[in-house]
Structure 1
């Protein structure tokens, strides 16, 4: 499966629990929506993923990727130390200038 470079970096950062590298995949003004909460900006995103990594030890295995108009969707199996693991999640991404502008994670 061919993924855009920034998404490959995102998956690698997640699987290495590297919150700094993960946050660096995002623009300075990016937003993330996950589990009913919105995180804004790289600092907020880095804190969110650092907490998630510490609590859930999640790793991603990409299953499918498609690009639609302005949004890309990555379907990935995510496993970790959370109830219901593993789960298949959809990552709705808006990418511009090599960085993620927005990410919404859904089931």
Structure 2
């Protein structure tokens, strides 16, 4: 969908399930993060796709321990009632030291069905 169809919203206006996932992700709370996902959820990060809760749990565990970083939610967009983008600024000890990442969420039945994380 072209960017001109995205509606900028206050990050506080993100659906509760996204807010809960982001808070858990930031706190490295894998158990809580997993409660926000559909059973058949997929996550794509760094060009790799993880399908289903067990694979996503493994990814979350690795992602939490690989680097030390801070993250700040800097923007949010609503594409439609099921699609949102949350933009984060990360700084840490990973290659490059800082990056802006877009977390693209697809929701189904008030849970996260798909998450794509990309610059």
Q: Is the shorter-chain TM-score for this pair beyond 0.5, marking a shared fold?
A: yes
**What pairs up with 1:1-107 in 2 under 5 angstroms?**
1=10, 2=12, 3-69=14-80, 70-107=82-119
SS at the partner of 1:83? coil
Count, aligned residues: 107
* Pair 55,61 (structure 1): closer, same or farther in 2 beyond 3 Å: same
The separation in 2 between residues aligned to 1:81 and 1:22, in whole angstroms, is 23
* Pair 32,17 (structure 1): closer, same or farther in 2 beyond 3 Å: same
Q: Which runs of 5+ in 2 are unaligned?
A: 1-9
TM-score calculated relative to the size of structure 2: 0.81
Q: Which structure would you say has the larger Rg?
A: 2
RMSD: 1.5
Single out whichever of 42-51 and 73-82 deviates more from structure 2: 73-82
